[in-house]
Amino acid sequence: MTTITDLHFGVCPKCHSHDGYINIGQGHWFYCREHKVRWFGGANLFDSWKLETDDEQRETYAALQFDQYREVEPCHSLPPHCVVTTERAMADHVGPTNGCCTDPTCRTL
């Protein structure tokens, strides 16, 4: 699991982290292995897809069993438990009322 400092691409709505991304064609999919969820980060944003063959991308997809991951809306709040600590993040905070955070004590400072 990656320690997240940049929330631009979002994090898992359950654990507020992610395990990076994989490329599917030119698309970049972020994911959480523990919770078997994924979300689309964008296309052609990173050059990494150019360095992978279609076969390599298929191997990664198969190794992760990515077809078994559920597509979700990522959370764009800071861990732990959505406690927001910066003005920038405060504007982006998404609390428990719309399903981002599973912690009922989620709050902003």
Count of domains observed in the chain:
1
Q: Is residue 5 part of a domain?
A: no
Q: Is residue 66 part of a domain?
A: yes
Which helix H or strand E contains 8, and what residues bound it?
Answer: none
The segment with the largest mean pLDDT, out of 68-72, 80-84, 87-91, is 68-72
Q: Is residue 38 part of a domain?
A: yes
- pLDDT in the model for residue 105: 47
pLDDT, the chain, mean? 76
Q: Is residue 104 part of a domain?
A: no
Q: Is residue 72 part of a domain?
A: yes
Q: Is residue 58 part of a domain?
A: yes
Q: Is residue 16 part of a domain?
A: no
Nearest of 56, 76, 63 to residue 33 by alpha carbon = 63
Judged against a pLDDT cut of 60, whether residue 28 lies above it is answered with yes
Which pLDDT tens digit goes with each residue over 43-61? 999 999 999 999 999 999 9
- pLDDT in the model for residue 76: 78
Please give the average per-residue pLDDT across 15-43, as a whole number.
93
27-32 and 21-24 as β-strands: parallel, antiparallel, unpaired? antiparallel
Residue 83's domain comprises: 21-98
Q: Is residue 106 part of a domain?
A: no
